[in-house]
Homo-oligomer: A and B are copies of this chain.
């Protein structure tokens, strides 16, 4: 995605394209490994030392609210962020906490009676287990190390 496209994308969602906001969005598009806010701050701040922590967090909030970025909460760890590209599900590693993309497929919704008066916006599947890096260490005891 080129810089003009990122600008369009921000403005299309009613967000001003400030240098800091652009940098946060560009970082997320370039780093698809679900970085934490702290990692994003560090990455953006290294390039533009004048981008503060508060601004990074503010912009992440704005981007999530605008629907351009997804926030993934992980038990016992910092939240991770994900520029929404193509739809996909997530695999979360029990051991290292890494979040990985899983090819999207349609999820059957709940029975409307079990949904009641709730308004459904989205269904997503979270897969859990061991990532490719962590699996061997367990599958073969600790011999894999």
Residue of B108, B121, B126 near A123 (CB, 8 A) is B126
Residues in B whose Cβ lies below 8 Å from that of A128: 120-124
Residue of B102, B124, B127 near A122 (CB, 8 A) is B127
Residues in B whose Cβ lies below 8 Å from that of A130: 118-119, 121
Is A115 positioned at the interface, with any CB of B under 8 Å from its CB? yes
Per-residue contact bits, chain A 64-106, to B (CB 8 Å; 1 contact, 0 not): 0000000111111001000000000101001000001011010
Distance in angstroms between the alpha carbons of A143 and B130 in the assembled complex: 48
Is A17 positioned at the interface, with any CB of B under 8 Å from its CB? no
Is A38 positioned at the interface, with any CB of B under 8 Å from its CB? no
Oligomeric state, in copies? 2
> Is B135 within 8 A of A115, CB to CB?
no
> Is A102 within 8 A of B115, CB to CB?
yes
Is A46 positioned at the interface, with any CB of B under 8 Å from its CB? no
Residues in B whose Cβ lies below 8 Å from that of A102: 110, 114-115
Least CB separation from A71: chain B residue: B75
Distance in angstroms between the alpha carbons of A107 and B100 in the assembled complex: 19
